[in-house]
């Protein structure tokens, strides 16, 4: 079996694991996400707690990106921390995702570019409160711009796709209606923040 086929199978396993978690919990915290998911007897992480752009060592291409919810009075490290919730509330067709650092050729940013070029579905962990996330998938990198040091992310499903099986974004439907569904969870962020004791790591 080729690396691309293995990547797809691992991606499907990650999506299925998150669907299961989503049926059990209204939002996801470190407790639910830290164990990762199992694939052929091996534990695969879902995210890197210290970085926003994540490719497991077992995979050839990017699995997930995240934006943390900014801590009140804390430093905001990336522009998407300021704007992503407004963009979702405004039902923008795409949201911005800042590169890691200032070098577009850095390893993390190359992962974003490869996800764009290969048109792969991935997981977007949207911070809805301190260390609380909504997993939005499938998400797609639909633009990558070295000049602005930003990528664009769209949410949607590919047409003509077998249930549960991610594919390229040919025929991707990234609609305003699709972008609205995380909003009720975001609206509860204030109450969730009160129950979260630890500050977030500084990453995307």
Euclidean distance between CA atoms 126 and 65, whole angstroms:
9
Q: Which domain holds residue 114?
A: 3-194
Euclidean distance between CA atoms 49 and 30, whole angstroms:
8
Residue 19 lies in a domain: yes
Residue 186 lies in a domain: yes
* Displacement of CA 74 from its chain's centroid (Å): 22
Give tens-digit pLDDT for 174-200: 333 333 334 333 333 333 333 333 333
Give tens-digit pLDDT for 71-90: 665 554 555 555 666 676 66
pLDDT band at 149 (very low <50, low <70, confident <90, very high): very high
Residue 204 lies in a domain: no
Give tens-digit pLDDT for 48-73: 988 999 999 999 999 999 988 776 65
Residue pair 45/36 in contact (Cβ under 8 Å)? The answer is yes
Residue pair 94/85 in contact (Cβ under 8 Å)? The answer is no
Residue 106 lies in a domain: yes
Higher pLDDT among residues 193 and 28, named by residue: 28
Residue 16 lies in a domain: yes
pLDDT at 131: 86
Residue 131 lies in a domain: yes
In 59-144, which residue ranges form alpha helices assigned H by DSSP? 79-89, 107-118
Mean pLDDT, the chain, rounded, equals 76
pLDDT at residue 162 tops 60: no
pLDDT at 184: 35
State the total domains in the chain. Answer: 1
Residue 183 lies in a domain: yes
Residue 168 lies in a domain: yes
pTM, whole model, 2 decimals? 0.74
């Amino acid at each position: 079996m080729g690396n691309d086929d293995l990547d797809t199978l691992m991606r499907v396993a990650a999506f299925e694991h998150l669907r299961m978690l989503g049926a059990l919990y209204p939002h996801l915290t470190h407790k639910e996400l830290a164990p990762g998911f199992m694939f052929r007897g091996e534990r695969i992480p879902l995210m890197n707690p210290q970085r926003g752009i994540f490719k497991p060592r077992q995979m050839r291409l990017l699995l997930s990106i995240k934006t943390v919810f900014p801590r009140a009075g804390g430093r905001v490290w990336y522009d998407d921390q300021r704007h992503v919730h407004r963009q979702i509330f405004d039902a923008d067709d795409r949201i911005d995702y800042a590169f890691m650092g200032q070098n577009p050729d850095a390893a993390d940013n190359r992962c974003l570019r490869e996800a764009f070029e290969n048109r792969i579905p991935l997981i977007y962990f949207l911070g809805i409160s301190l260390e609380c996330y909504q997993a939005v998938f499938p998400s797609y990198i639909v633009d990558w711009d070295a000049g602005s040091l930003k990528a664009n992310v769209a949410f949607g499903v590919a047409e003509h796709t077998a249930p549960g099986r991610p594919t390229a974004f040919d025929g991707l439907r990234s609609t305003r209606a699709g972008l609205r569904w995380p909003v009720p969870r975001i609206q509860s962020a204030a109450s969730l923040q009160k129950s979260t004791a630890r500050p977030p790591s500084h990453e995307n």
